[in-house]
Chain A
């Protein structure tokens, strides 16, 4: 059929099964928005900033496992979206981001709202396209979705000049893709898998090291099986929270800069690291030369470039984790769980020596309590998003995650302002679960305009603001490493968060006691509307344990020993 480029975009999105698009219109993308007006194949959610559109698409993608879609205009619309693209690229989130561009005749002339969008998005996308002819659109869009979701997932940016969206051409989406140069490995090499399984059978103190790739590969079920059948303990990275349920006896905890003592010690003592979909990030490894120093390393990853990038790998396996874990399960009988009994005991002793905890020693509510309490009250029934900073680490440490895709956070890029729009995307993808965003008094102001989006579209996100009147994580570093010079981190001058929420049509609570918090959360869940719950928490609480930047994992600053209640 002969249709315009703009109509092709709509047809392609519908053909891809997209049911929600996040975006913001503008001059160069108007032809497409005109077609959005006319169609009813998918919902469009109007965010109030393009960055939020991309984060919302990320939240949607992470909660649903599908490709998230955002649509924006040229120039400032696009540059606003760049943070979202970079965030998605770092955390391997499958997105297709479509931007308008000035007409072909104006490209290169410094036209109104012109920017070299593909030049800017190149280093922060898996791939990008500038479509110069509507004849190419069906193929480009089909490739974009395929590339975004296959292999190591990532964001794909498609830039379409305005005249191309007006151009009328034949549309046929039923085409075979011929990507001669892009063929992700999906099956792991059987010889390598056998070698790895033999190495596990020989190891005395093996340790699973789970990364976000387990969730991306939708391999949590297989990985849980593998862990349970082998009896080998596991540590999770920030991105892997929820792969194992919080009450799984083989889950040691989260490792890394703010990992638990037992997880970091287990990693330091293991003789075989079994890395699954993790990338040995500097926040995980600490000082590289001391990381798992006496261990051999198995590394399963879909991205060959992740293997031996930072840590030398003895048993590399390139492949889709779902396949590789299934193949490993077939050989699981050669591994005897009893063999690791004393190793599991050693790890339990680490956990008993320095458990992950906090002291109830202040007048004000402790932020960790808030996280734990939400966990007690909502547990599995909530999806948890966060912004970035102390609250994020406490949420990762103290929330009882029970399933994959429950935990949505900005890990690699560490983007303040991620949480609220992401939680909107999460709620759109998963309406049956309560969508909680843990945030701080710093982060929430970075995308608080999303109150309008959530109120307009009736997307009841509950934002729990852990308010310590500080840019807490930076303040913590200043306290510890900059001799308490709290440069520009005191956020004592603040808006009235309750009124802020109310001004947009949401509801707000300001709580200072535990009783008030329980009542506020209960009320917000029942009312099922957009809410801010501002919790006044202890100002000077630090995230502990902590591996100082560049230090060895086993050299942790620990919570001072005190009698805990």
Chain B
């Protein structure tokens, strides 16, 4: 790709029915589009679900993605806004022998805390913008994280 590739967040409102998720992911793989992350959950009190897809591509590719998504029969709406409130959650498992007050302080800086304590490990959770989650995961490296899980981004247009 010669054109500039940029990160975009696309929200898709779909009818909550069998195989709708595979229609979406098939479209991405079949047409060679990227998926950085994808989250999906039903919208309360409706027959719809909302997907948040983080993707990347040139302006032309992003335009094609939104148009192709819209072409799918169960897709109600596709939002491809630049102006979004975007959040992501990450959970990290640390050995209990690490400096827990350091870890807790770091978590607090990223809207999080230690949420579970076991015999050998603690689990911390943060919720923030995906970029800030990146920072957090960089910062905690020195505390020997054993496992990391990220939720993928969710977003709402302002």
Interface residues of chain A, those whose CB is within 8 Å of chain B, are: 118-119, 122-123, 126-127, 130, 132, 147, 179-182, 303-305, 308-309
Asked if B76 CB lies within 8 Å of chain A CBs, one says yes
Q: Across the interface, which residues of A come within 8 angstroms of B67, CB to CB?
A: 304-305, 309
Q: Across the interface, which residues of B come within 8 angstroms of A179, CB to CB?
A: 73
Contact status of A182 and B73, CB under 8 A, knowing A118-B19, A123-B26: yes
Q: Across the interface, which residues of B come within 8 angstroms of A130, CB to CB?
A: 18-19
Instruction: Report whether B75 and A309 are in contact in the complex, using a CB–CB cutoff of 8 Å.
Output: no
A297 to chain B, nearest CB (A): 14
A493 to chain B, nearest CB (A): 38
Instruction: Report whether A181 and B26 are in contact in the complex, using a CB–CB cutoff of 8 Å.
Output: no
The complex places the Cα of A126 from the Cα of B71 at a distance, in Å, of 9
Interface residues of chain B, those whose CB is within 8 Å of chain A, are: 14-15, 18-19, 22-23, 26, 30, 60, 63-64, 67-68, 70-71, 73-76
Closest B-chain residue to A143, C-beta based?
B73
A319 to chain B, nearest CB (A): 15
How many residue pairs between the two chains, A and B, have CB atoms under 8 Å in the bound complex?
38
Q: Across the interface, which residues of B come within 8 angstroms of A305, CB to CB?
A: 64, 67-68, 70-71
Q: Across the interface, which residues of B come within 8 angstroms of A119, CB to CB?
A: 19, 22
The complex places the Cα of A123 from the Cα of B24 at a distance, in Å, of 10
Instruction: Report whether B22 and A304 are in contact in the complex, using a CB–CB cutoff of 8 Å.
Output: no
Closest B-chain residue to A123, C-beta based?
B30
Instruction: Report whether A181 and B75 are in contact in the complex, using a CB–CB cutoff of 8 Å.
Output: yes
Closest A-chain residue to B69, C-beta based?
A305
The complex places the Cα of A555 from the Cα of B26 at a distance, in Å, of 38
Closest A-chain residue to B19, C-beta based?
A118
Q: Across the interface, which residues of B come within 8 angstroms of A127, CB to CB?
A: 73
A552 to chain B, nearest CB (A): 18
Q: A123-B30, A181-B14 are in contact. List 11 more A-B contacts (CB 8 A).
A: A118-B19, A123-B26, A126-B73, A132-B18, A179-B73, A181-B15, A182-B73, A303-B71, A305-B64, A305-B67, A309-B64
6 sampled A-B residue pairs with Cβ under 8 A:
A126-B73, A132-B18, A179-B73, A180-B15, A181-B74, A309-B64
A346 to chain B, nearest CB (A): 33
Instruction: Report whether A122 and B71 are in contact in the complex, using a CB–CB cutoff of 8 Å.
Output: no
Closest B-chain residue to A124, C-beta based?
B30
The complex places the Cα of A489 from the Cα of B17 at a distance, in Å, of 48
The complex places the Cα of A180 from the Cα of B70 at a distance, in Å, of 13
Q: Across the interface, which residues of A come within 8 angstroms of B71, CB to CB?
A: 303-305
Q: Across the interface, which residues of A come within 8 angstroms of B63, CB to CB?
A: 308
Q: Across the interface, which residues of B come within 8 angstroms of A118, CB to CB?
A: 19
A115 to chain B, nearest CB (A): 15
The complex places the Cα of A304 from the Cα of B23 at a distance, in Å, of 19
Closest A-chain residue to B68, C-beta based?
A305
Q: Across the interface, which residues of A come within 8 angstroms of B70, CB to CB?
A: 304-305
Closest B-chain residue to A180, C-beta based?
B76
A237 to chain B, nearest CB (A): 21
Q: Across the interface, which residues of B come within 8 angstroms of A304, CB to CB?
A: 67, 70-71
Instruction: Report whether A122 and B73 are in contact in the complex, using a CB–CB cutoff of 8 Å.
Output: no
A281 to chain B, nearest CB (A): 15
Q: Which of B15, B18, B73, B75 has the most CB of A within 10 A?
A: B73
B146 to chain A, nearest CB (A): 36
The complex places the Cα of A123 from the Cα of B30 at a distance, in Å, of 7
**Which of A132, A147, A308, A309 touches B73 (beta carbons < 8 Å)?**
A147
Q: Across the interface, which residues of A come within 8 angstroms of B60, CB to CB?
A: 308
The complex places the Cα of A132 from the Cα of B17 at a distance, in Å, of 12
Q: Across the interface, which residues of A come within 8 angstroms of B23, CB to CB?
A: 122
